[in-house]
Structure formats: C-alpha cells, structure tokens
Amino acid sequence: MKFSQMEYQRPDVDGMIEQYKQITERFPNCKNAKEQMKCILEHESIMKAYQTMSTLAYIHNSINTADKFYAQEKAFYNEKSPVIQEYEQAFLQVVYDSRFKKELEKELGTLFFENIKVALRSFSPEIIPLLQQENELTTEYQKLLASAKIEFDGKELNLSTITTYLQDLDRTVRKEAWKKCAAFFEEHAQKLDEIYDQLVKNRDEQARKLGYANYVQLGYDRLGRNCYRASDVKVFREQIIRDLVPVTVTIRKMQAQRIGVDEIKLHDTGVSFTDGNPKPNGETQELVSAAQKMYDEMSPKTSEFFTFMRENELFDLESKQNKAGGGYCTELPDYQSPFIFSNFNGTSGDVDVLTHEAGHAFAAYQARNMEIRENASTTMETAEVHSMTMELLARPWAELFFGNDAEKFRVFQLESALNFIPYGCLVDEFQHEVYENPKLTPQERKKLWLKLEKKYRPWLDFDNLPFFKDGGGFQKQHHIYCYPFYYIDYCLAQTVALEFWSKSNRDWKKAFDEYFAFVSAAGTKSFVQLIKDSGLNSPFEDGCVKELSTEVVQWMEQHRIK
C-alpha cells in the first residue's frame, strides 16, 4: 500500500489494555505451549497495530512539526505509551515465568527470553509519570531545533539546509555560517540547558526507583544490550584513543594541506578538497533513480526491496520549513513497510541516506514476514551494521551518483568513517560521565565536553567561535538528548562495517552474501554472536581497531587526491 493511502486512526487504548488483561490472565492457565503461543501471537497483533498508528503519527509530525493535529497525536503517544508498557510488561512477565518455557524456547529461541529479562528489569509502573515527562522533554527539544529560521545569503534556512554553507569553498562564508548556527544555539542556550538538566535528573530518578546505582546500566538495558557491558565499551574507547586518534590527527593534517590552511578550525571541518567536497549529480528524483539502478545491479533481493519502496512512496527526502531535522528509517508493521525520512541538502549526505537508511530499510524488509517482533527487531548496534555496511558495499556504484568525482567520494567516505569514530566515542564517554555524576551543573557539563574534545579531537581549534568554544557543542547532538547511550552503536557498527569493506576488497560477492546472512538473522542472534558467526573480529578485542585503521590508511595512501 502507498504511504499516502495509509489511513491514520488513533488506537483504542482502553480496548488494548482490556485485551492485555485477558491474555495475561489466560496465559498461565494454558494447557500446553501451543496454546501459550496463541497468546503470544495475540500480543504481537496488539502491539503491531499500536506501533503502526504511533509510527504513522510520528512520521507525519516529523514531516511538519507545526501541524497541530499530529502534534496532538504525538503528545497522546508520549502520554499513553508508558501506560501501555505497564500492561505489555505484565504479559511478558507471565511469558517469562511460563511452565512450558523449554518448549517455547524451541519455537522462539533462548535470546527471546533473555531479552524479556532485560526489558522487565528496566520498567515498573512506578516510573510511568517520569517516562511521560521524559517524552515531553525530548519532544520539546526536537521542536525547538526544528523551529530554527536562520537568515543567511538572502534566504531563510534551517539547521539542515545551512549545511551547504558550512561546506562552502569560501572560508569566510563557512565561518559566517557557523556563526549563524552558533547564534541560534546561544539564543536558546538557557532553554537547552534546562531541558537537558531536567532529562538527566529525570533519568537518574528512574534508575534509582528501579534499583540501579545510576542511569548507565538502565540506559544499556533500555537499548536491549544483551551481550556486552559498559566495561567492554570502555575497552573499545581506549583502543580508539590509542590506535585511531593519532591516525585522525594525520588525516586532518592531510586535509589542511589539501585545502591550503595551516590548521583545521571548526569552520574548516566540513571541507576536504580545494575544489570542494564531492557533490551528487542531479536532484532528488535523479538520485533515487540512480539508487534504483544500483540496487537492481547489486542483487535480485535489493532490486525487489528498492522497487517496493519507490512504488509505495516510502520516502520523504527533501528539506522544508518546520520539518524535523536529521534522518531516520522506521517501520509500519501492519503494512510490512519500512519508511525513510531525511532532509536532502545537496551534499554527499543525500547519497548516504540512499545507502545508510536504505540499509536499515533493507533489513526491515527482509524481516517483514517474521511473526515475532522481538525476533525481527535487532539491537541498535546490529541495526547500524546493516546500514553502515550497505554504505560501504555501495562504493562500486559511486559513479552513478558522483560521475567524475566518484574516486574523490570514496576517499572522502573512508576519511569520514575514521574521523567519525573518535567523535562518537566522545559523545559516549560524555554521557557516561554525565549519568555517573547527575548533579553536575550545566556549566560543569560544558567544561566536561571541552575536556573530552581535547582527548578525542586534539586537532580541533574552535577559533573563538561563540557557543562552541564554551563547550555547548553537545547540545546540537540529538542523540544526547533523545537517545541516551545510542551513539556508541554507530562506532561499534562502523568498525564492523569496515571489516565487511575489507572483505569486499578481496571478493565483493562473497562479502555481500555474508552481509545478507548477517542481515537475515535479524534479532535471533546477539551482536557478539553475529560477529563470531560472520568470521569477524570483535570491536571489544584489543587490536581490532589498529588492524582496521592500518588497512584503511594504506588504501588512502594508494588513492591519495590532492
């Protein structure tokens, strides 16, 4: 079904609750595992219907945050979702306690029950008001950033469309564009401080009411992390500081030489070549058509998937006023349809959407017929492997999007991949420190951010740029406000994706087949198990990062562009 034909109807929450009460009461009295499976499938049906409508509302609200109807619907879900979670959790508790668990495990897998255990300890009806407040605060943050109206070059821009000027070849233009961005954030600095301070205190209170020492482990549990801990992530970050940060310092020096500056200032970070960054050829529909050609040639499976997306209008790609920032892929379960949301701005990021978000969508499409949501859904770092690997597997088709700039794009892409990982680790360590020390003041958090900037990005000079020089940079990172502890998933996934890239250099077809097997497992295996089964090195193992970064640097040396 086309997206435009998907009719929105607010769910009957009272009816849902009644259904949950019935299956929760019925489940323990079932005579065998087969009867209990029927109850589990009823639970799946209830939640799929609810998620389909809540996602429809979310998409429409993202497309136009000023639309009052969908703003009200978003507020409805912010309030009701934690309430429904109480009844869903009550049902999952009786499932976890099933006397037929061994038989159910044969049908559902042991990981299904491990994931329920993690979910159960991260919720209690006692914290529903806090969850509702958290939802309101993240919505307020998103709406505030979406409201940006920046006057520049005779145009009214938002935080997405000004990106083009942040990459302008004229250094003066870039600096002025950064100043305009900084002015927006400075204007709203107090409100941004207040929102984040309330979020940190809210999440800390949730954790303590649930019996956690602080929000860190609760944050991990909320993300369903079932095979590694904060201590493992710390080992990964230490590898990055030791083995990758020095490499990125060298890459930034090479960038400075290429663009003719003595050292990289904040307003230089977005420009990698003297003649400008690689830009895609063509407007939105031409890029989508190029992507169709690529996926047609890549494999029958990717061809079928992308054709489905186009025929059913499952994209909203172009930036416009009052549209939420960023990009994402989500799913509409009852329609078995992924949906891709983005803000095209004429940069190479537009092509990244058609590979990265399409990687998420491809995985969702492959899992669309799985009856059990919990087995179809992966943890976040696994999902990001799906997307980031697709970006790198698409490299042979760069000419379709960039023409003569294709090789430049391939260099730019790998440099960007390595440069990103330390920043992602900076975001992650910042959040660990913040939630381990929830009484930090807004000013102390900004000092912490600046300290970590020096640790992970020692090459960066803020050039006295307001807001950023004072440590406010974290406030423009959506994930810090809305998706705590998610960001490290990108770093872990980028590392794994680079391993697939390494394999593809030797045998692209074999690498794609192994990637497809990784994707097809969906949520039936943990991240660590998937890595092991794919014959890859774990990011948590010492030496993994050094080996990969060495290979990437060697490739870049062989493909150096002046």
Residue 301's nearest CA partner among 251, 250, 358 is 358
Q: DSSP state, 126?
A: G
Task: Return the structure tokens found at 169.
Answer: 């070849």
- Reading phi first (left if > 0) and then psi (alpha if -120 to 50, else beta), residue 6 is in beta
Specify the number of domains making up the chain: 1
- Residue 211, Ramachandran bin (φ over 0: left; ψ between -120 and 50: alpha; else beta): left
120 falls within a domain: yes
Flag whether 259 is in a domain. Answer: no
Structure tokens at 416: 């960007």
Strands 155-157 and 328-332: unpaired
**Residue 330: strand pairing partners:** 339
Ramachandran quadrant class, 464 (left: phi over 0; alpha: psi -120 to 50; beta: rest): left
Q: Is residue 43 part of a domain?
A: yes
In-domain check, residue 467: no
Any alpha helices (H) in 97-244, and if so which ranges?
A: 101-108, 110-121, 128-146, 163-166, 171-187, 189-209, 215-222, 230-239
Q: What are the Cα distances from residue 233, in Å, to 240, 428, 492, 542?
A: 11, 9, 9, 12
Single-letter residue type at 537: N
Identify the H or E element spanning 156: strand 155-157
End-to-end Cα separation, the chain, in angstroms: 48
Cα angle for residues 393, 394, 399 (degrees, 5° grid): 145
301: amino acid identity, one letter? K
Q: Tens place of pLDDT for every residue, the chain, 562 residues?
A: 999 999 999 999 999 999 999 999 999 999 999 999 999 999 999 999 999 999 999 999 999 999 999 999 999 999 999 999 999 999 999 999 999 999 999 999 999 999 999 999 999 999 999 999 999 999 999 999 999 999 999 999 999 889 989 999 999 999 999 999 999 999 999 999 999 999 999 999 999 999 999 999 999 999 999 999 999 999 999 999 999 999 999 999 999 999 999 999 999 999 999 998 999 999 999 999 999 999 999 999 999 999 999 999 999 999 988 999 889 999 999 999 999 999 998 999 999 999 999 999 999 999 999 999 999 999 999 999 999 999 999 999 999 999 999 999 999 999 999 999 999 999 999 999 999 999 999 999 999 999 999 999 999 999 999 999 999 999 999 999 999 999 999 999 999 999 999 999 999 999 999 999 999 999 999 999 999 999 999 999 999 999 999 999 999 999 987 6
DSSP conformation letters of 455-512:
HH-TT-B-TT-TTTTTT-GGGG-HHHHHSTT-THHHHHHHHHHHHHHHHHHH-HHHHH
- Compute CA 331 distance to the chain's CA centroid, rounded to the nearest angstrom: 14
Q: Which secondary structure element, helix H or strand E, spans residue 516, and what is its range?
A: helix 508-520
- Ordered DSSP codes for 303-319: HHHHHHHHHTT-EEEE-
Domain that holds residue 96: 7-126
Closest among 345, 165, 347, 267 to 259, alpha carbons compared: 267
Q: Quick one: pLDDT at residue 309?
A: 99
3-class SS of residue 64: coil
Strand, coil or helix: what is 146? helix
Q: How many CB atoms neighbour CB 180 within 10 A? A: 18
At residue 76, what is the residue type? F
Residue with tokens 């890549």: 298
* 469 backbone dihedrals φ, ψ, rounded to 5°: -65, -20
Tell me whether strands 155-157 and 150-152 are parallel, antiparallel or unpaired: antiparallel
Map residue 89 onto helix, strand or coil.
helix
Q: Which residues contact 333 (CB under 8 A, 6 or more apart)?
A: 48, 51, 52, 55, 373
Amino acid at 224: G
| 19 assigned to some structural domain | yes
In a domain, 57, yes or no: yes
Other beta carbons less than 10 A from residue 189's beta carbon: 18
pLDDT at 156: 94
Q: How many CA atoms lie within 13 A of 206 on its CB side?
A: 28
What 3-state DSSP class applies to 413?
helix
Other beta carbons within 10 angstroms of residue 1's beta carbon come to 14
In angstroms, the CA 390 to CA 504 distance is: 11
